[in-house]
Amino acid sequence: MASNPRSPAKIFTLFSYVILVVSLAHARLGRSGSESVATDLTLLSAKKVMLDLYYETLCPFSAKFIAEQLPRIFDNGLIDIVTLQLVPWGNAIIRPNKTFECQHGTDECKLNI
């Protein structure tokens, strides 16, 4: 039996990678001294990093991540170098009659549009 590509464990793994990338970027920005000033000036003139966050609208794990982890990029100023796009994305299947069935119910299907 094939594993579900959008299982809570895989979603958690994806969110963990996002946190890792954000943390590494934050650590890089946290240097002190003249090197930090030069780096900060270079970053200001560089393009922003695209961060697309795919989440399930009614998933408790997604809600927890968005409520507890995502605000950190606003609190620490990382949002200044990030273009954040939230993309509702559900664990859905298409039935033979061309209707959708979402993991967290009909409301999630509507919210994921």
pTM: 0.54
Give me the residues paired with residue 101 across strands: 93
pLDDT in tens, 29-40: 555 555 555 566
How many domains is the chain built from? 1
Reply yes or no on whether the pLDDT at 91 is more than 90: no
Phi, psi of 99 (to 5 degrees): -100, 160
Any idea which residue has 């890089």 for tokens? 28
Answer yes or no: is 16 within a domain.
Answer: yes
Q: Is the dihedral of CA 16, 104, 58, 102 positive or negative?
A: positive
Answer yes or no: is 1 within a domain.
Answer: no
Answer yes or no: is 3 within a domain.
Answer: no
Answer yes or no: is 47 within a domain.
Answer: yes
Domain that includes residue 53, residue range: 8-111
pLDDT in tens, 38-67: 566 565 667 889 999 999 989 999 999 999
